[in-house]
Structure 1
Amino acid sequence: MKPSLQLKLGQQLTMTPQLQQAIRLLQLSTLDLQAEIQEALESNPMLEISEGEDGAQDTEASSDVSEPSDPEFNSAKESTETNLQELNTPETSPDNNQSNEMDSDWNNDIPDDLPVDTNWDDIYTSGPASSGSGSDEDRDYERGDSTGESLQEHLLWQLNLTPMSDRDRVIALSIIDDIEPSGMLGNPIGDIAEGLNQEQEMLEDPVELDEVLAVLHRIQQFDPVGVAGQDLAECLLIQLRTLPTTTPFLDAAKLIVKDHLALLGNRDYKQLMRRCKLKEAELAEVIGLIQTLNPRPGEQIAQADTEYVVPDVFVSKKQDRWLVELNPDIAPKIRINAGYASLVKRADTSPDNNFMRDHLQEARWFLKSLQSRNETLLKVASCIVEKQMGFFESGPEAMRPMVLHDIAEEVGMHESTISRVTTQKYMHTPRGIFELKYFFSSHVSTDAGGECSSTAIRAIIKKLVAAENPKKPLSDSKITTLLEEQGIQVARRTIAKYRESLGIAASNERKRLI
């Protein structure tokens, strides 16, 4: 092949490190952003947390800090500042005299010699000081509430307090290991006995099925009530047996749970009334008693850690106007350390000066990326509130159909940017906390030629189901007819899809007794 030269024209997008960092910070959630800021504080000595009013960043002070005269740095700095406001640094630099006085006072507090029988930890506490003004009792309470024991640990604790032979204790340990987090027994007792017989080292004689069943009955007396049930019926029966004998309709409840639980699950109330010889009002009392039981007793002990949503934006109404504000507590306030920044020299090319100059440049880019993220988030949230004013005034039924393209055109950004801003970002409103994605929905045509949001249709379905007759719940076809009367054309299968997304059961499963 003969080498040749060719001239081609093309377009290529080159993402600078600053742009890559800004995009990455834009799509982070609140927790991820806090972790990113903490990592930046630990890796960059030029960054520090600003505290109180003295931590307010000032543009004029930032310009007073000497900057390196690197052409590459200056050009990158100018390109980054195009659409962002200059982030500030404190006006004052550390006072050397004050720091020397503090050092001398601290040195005077240190004794020359420690007593022979004194440990260092007795005089000076090690480890970082805890932040916050809470008392020790509050911290212990929070710590104990966040780390709870598992169901197996709770059962083993009770087993250690129960007098039992060594043989029965081995069987009990095997049973406890087989209990699921819900509190139900995972395998039949026959499989447990077979597994124990295979462990010849721990048991000399083969285990009989009656032995396992006897130990199981003892474990079923442990807390929580209903644990180690072989099935749902036995779990509920254990709980019913612990109730006082004077409880109304206790015998009828035991009969239904033991022999007619399938009919109760299918809501076949006519068969239940006929077989149990109960009237409608009496059956309603029995069902109410059964509903007080816990079908998953193990979850009382092995509770999952509660996760709280921290809103990124606050929306409130003041003087007939809706205001949008960023949550000031979602991330620590950081700034550039003016003392370190003042040490950077313009014409110095030493490794130490280059090190400080590079970290100063990274710190400024990081602060500008944070500022860009906050500005974009506030701009998008304000646009959402403006377009969904009906939701904030009247509720979900007034939600307008809206897609990412609508907001992108309004704020002059790409749809991918809007998608990053609205993912895992939450808005606190007088009607609750919602993810920004919640306000985007498809549309359904109406008879009047307009459009209705799918979120509004879900709200209407939820309202219709809440107001239905419990004896005659609304079917999907009936809900479709009711929506058509309001001018909304929706297929029955669409109603079923919306109903399932709301967690609403079918009409035959929603039937109730009065």
Structure 2
Amino acid sequence: MSLVQLKTELRQELKLTPQLMQSMEVLQMTSQELLEYLSRQAEENPLLDQSDPPERAYEELRRQAGWIDGGVRDRATFTHEEGAPEAGAMDSALESLAAFLRDQIHRLRLPKPLTALCEYLAELVDGDGYLAQEDLDGLAAMKIPQALTDQALDTLQSLDPPGVGARSLSECLLLQLSRRDGADPVAMDVAARFLPELGRKHYAAIAQKLGITVEAVRRAEAVVASLEPHPGRAFQPAEPTVYVRPDVFVAELDGELKVILNEYYLPRVSVNDYYLRLLKSSDEKETKDYLRQKLRQAKWLLDSLDRRGSTLRRCAEAALEAQRPFFSGQTGDLAPMTLSSLAEGLALHPSTVSRAVRGKYLQCRQGTYPLRYFFSLPVSGGVSRQAAKQALLALVREEDRKRPYSDQDLSRLLADRGILLARRTVTKYRLELGLGSSAARKK
């Protein structure tokens, strides 16, 4: 019996060709990534020519829409060279918290073993100024006497900034309070034993356990609030400034809202005529093969750029159509719109729409927003999630601070406005908006 069989099978397969992969890659690039990508491609492919975009078109747009940021065309604003420190920036190696602590340790002129251990602990202090208990436990495994460890820890915690070397928030606050003249014993008790209750504003419970008045607890809270919970914060390097370049503008031109792609910062990419003539006239096979390959790559890139611009424009135009009342200034609320519904309307795959809006920004008269901001899921009542959050925020701002609304009250009031949200959903949205509970909001 033969085990070899012949059969016919019909099936569909999707293969990712190099052209498709490049198109997908270019589609999801941010403006800065695309600018760097074009620069690399121009260096690798001699058939690609780059020329500066015309300035007149951008200036004409700015004349008609004066709110457009004047720094959009400044390329230097958006470039960053790795390893090149910004002028006037702090040298982290010389001005770090560990270096500051080591300098104080050297001035104390301690015995060598104690100095060495203090310097070692200074290196273990994290960016907030704390020591992990696990690191101290590791010293015992290194056969370091406990008495020497305790002495080094006391020395470290006596240094500036106050609170450095603490192993917990409570210890950090107590270290700072102990350095104050006439330290408040109530504040020290609260910092040592009742920080969780203080965070939940359970003043009556704290007052009952300490045998004091609620007013005394509130005074202690004010003292604790004046302390620094992150003593190493001043030594943390400032985060680099992140600049946002809008990919799309929505502006009113000639009395009509229109979508304008922000391609004014991109160089004009074209195929070099000299190499095209060389491809036709050259008799060398290797030269012709090389130029044909580079020509194909150049055409793939130009096609990918066209597809990116077309897809991004269609997505932005669909967002404009769905959110026209917002862009025209009639309301600050968004209409419900999802990626899947937009993809269906544009006859695109949802993943294509997701790639197109990833990391992209839209600038309009109201401000600059991530393009994804305009895709707000619907909630019960036919409004968007963004509109529900705005209504919730308005209720909290208008409430009586002496009798703030509970989450159940907020759910009922939103229902009166036609927005049906369960209490747990109200709690979720409240936390996302950075709003405290009714007890935390009470004055």
TM-score (norm 1): 0.69
Alignment partners' CA distance in 1, 2:192 and 2:7: 86
2:200 alignment partner in structure 1? 266
Amino acid in the other structure paired with 1:29: T
1:39 alignment partner in structure 2? 40
Alignment partners' CA distance in 2, 1:329 and 1:161: 58
Deviations 1:11-34 (A, max 9, x none): 555655433322221123334434
Alignment partners' CA distance in 2, 1:326 and 1:5: 55
User: How much does 1:403 deviate?
Assistant: 1.7
Are 2:370 and 1:435 aligned?
yes
Are 2:77 and 1:142 aligned?
no
User: How much does 1:228 deviate?
Assistant: 0.9
Amino acid in the other structure paired with 2:413: L
Are 2:396 and 1:465 aligned?
yes
Contact 2:361 2:369 in 1 (8 A): yes
User: How much does 1:454 deviate?
Assistant: 1.8
Amino acid in the other structure paired with 1:145: A
1:399 alignment partner in structure 2? 334
Taking a change above 3 Å as real, the CA distance of residues 381 and 244 of structure 1, as seen in their structure-2 partners, is farther
Are 2:218 and 1:287 aligned?
no
Are 2:308 and 1:362 aligned?
no
Alignment partners' CA distance in 2, 1:255 and 1:146: 39
How well do the aligned residues superpose, as a CA RMSD in angstroms? 3.7
User: How much does 1:486 deviate?
Assistant: 0.7
1:324 alignment partner in structure 2? 259
Contact 1:182 1:299 in 2 (8 A): yes
Instruction: Please give the residue correspondences for 1:223-234 in structure 2 after superposition, counting only pairs within 5 Å.
Output: 223-234=160-171
Contact 2:411 2:421 in 1 (8 A): yes
User: How much does 1:144 deviate?
Assistant: 5.2
Taking a change above 3 Å as real, the CA distance of residues 432 and 190 of structure 1, as seen in their structure-2 partners, is same
Instruction: Please give the residue correspondences for 1:21-100 in structure 2 after superposition, counting only pairs within 5 Å.
Output: 21-51=22-52, 53=54
Taking a change above 3 Å as real, the CA distance of residues 162 and 370 of structure 1, as seen in their structure-2 partners, is farther
Amino acid in the other structure paired with 2:111: S
Taking a change above 3 Å as real, the CA distance of residues 368 and 43 of structure 1, as seen in their structure-2 partners, is same
* 431-440 or 393-402, which deviates more: 393-402
Q: 1:496 aligns with which of 410, 427, 433?
A: 427
2:421 match: secondary structure: coil
Taking a change above 3 Å as real, the CA distance of residues 397 and 172 of structure 1, as seen in their structure-2 partners, is same
User: How much does 1:321 deviate?
Assistant: 4.1
2:60 alignment partner in structure 1? none
1:386 alignment partner in structure 2? 321
Are 2:171 and 1:170 aligned?
no
| Number of aligned residue pairs | 415
Taking a change above 3 Å as real, the CA distance of residues 391 and 227 of structure 1, as seen in their structure-2 partners, is farther
Contact 1:396 1:456 in 2 (8 A): no
User: How much does 1:241 deviate?
Assistant: 5.0
1:142 match: secondary structure: coil
Alignment partners' CA distance in 1, 2:179 and 2:365: 44
Deviations 1:100-131 (A, max 9, x none): xxxxxxxxxxxxxxxxxxxxxxxxxxxxxxx9
Q: 2:409 aligns with which of 468, 478, 497?
A: 478
Are 2:168 and 1:222 aligned?
no
Amino acid in the other structure paired with 1:217: D
Instruction: Please give the residue correspondences for 1:140-219 in structure 2 after superposition, counting only pairs within 5 Å.
Output: 142=86, 145=89, 148-149=92-93, 150-187=96-133, 191=137, 194-195=140-141, 198=143, 206-208=145-147, 211-219=148-156
2:67 alignment partner in structure 1? none
* 250-259 or 362-371, which deviates more: 250-259
Taking a change above 3 Å as real, the CA distance of residues 432 and 288 of structure 1, as seen in their structure-2 partners, is farther
User: How much does 1:298 deviate?
Assistant: 2.4
Pair member with larger Rg: 1
1:238 alignment partner in structure 2? 175
Taking a change above 3 Å as real, the CA distance of residues 292 and 335 of structure 1, as seen in their structure-2 partners, is farther
* 484-493 or 259-268, which deviates more: 259-268
Contact 2:203 2:218 in 1 (8 A): no
Amino acid in the other structure paired with 1:381: A
Unaligned runs of 5+ residues in structure 2 are 58-74, 78-82
Taking a change above 3 Å as real, the CA distance of residues 408 and 285 of structure 1, as seen in their structure-2 partners, is same
Alignment partners' CA distance in 1, 2:260 and 2:162: 49
Taking a change above 3 Å as real, the CA distance of residues 303 and 166 of structure 1, as seen in their structure-2 partners, is same
Deviations 1:374-422 (A, max 9, x none): 2221221122122112333569862111122432344343333212212
Alignment partners' CA distance in 2, 1:160 and 1:273: 45
Taking a change above 3 Å as real, the CA distance of residues 332 and 250 of structure 1, as seen in their structure-2 partners, is farther
Amino acid in the other structure paired with 2:154: H
Alignment partners' CA distance in 2, 1:361 and 1:319: 41
Deviations 1:145-193 (A, max 9, x none): 3863454344334434543221221220232233233222211797366
Alignment partners' CA distance in 1, 2:173 and 2:154: 14
Contact 1:473 1:511 in 2 (8 A): yes
Contact 1:252 1:276 in 2 (8 A): no
Taking a change above 3 Å as real, the CA distance of residues 151 and 349 of structure 1, as seen in their structure-2 partners, is same
TM-score (norm 2): 0.78
2:420 match: secondary structure: coil
Deviations 1:341-393 (A, max 9, x none): 44322573521232123212311221221122122212211221221123335
1:427 match: secondary structure: strand
Contact 1:41 1:48 in 2 (8 A): yes
Q: 1:416 aligns with which of 337, 348, 351?
A: 351
Taking a change above 3 Å as real, the CA distance of residues 40 and 147 of structure 1, as seen in their structure-2 partners, is farther
User: How much does 1:501 deviate?
Assistant: 3.5
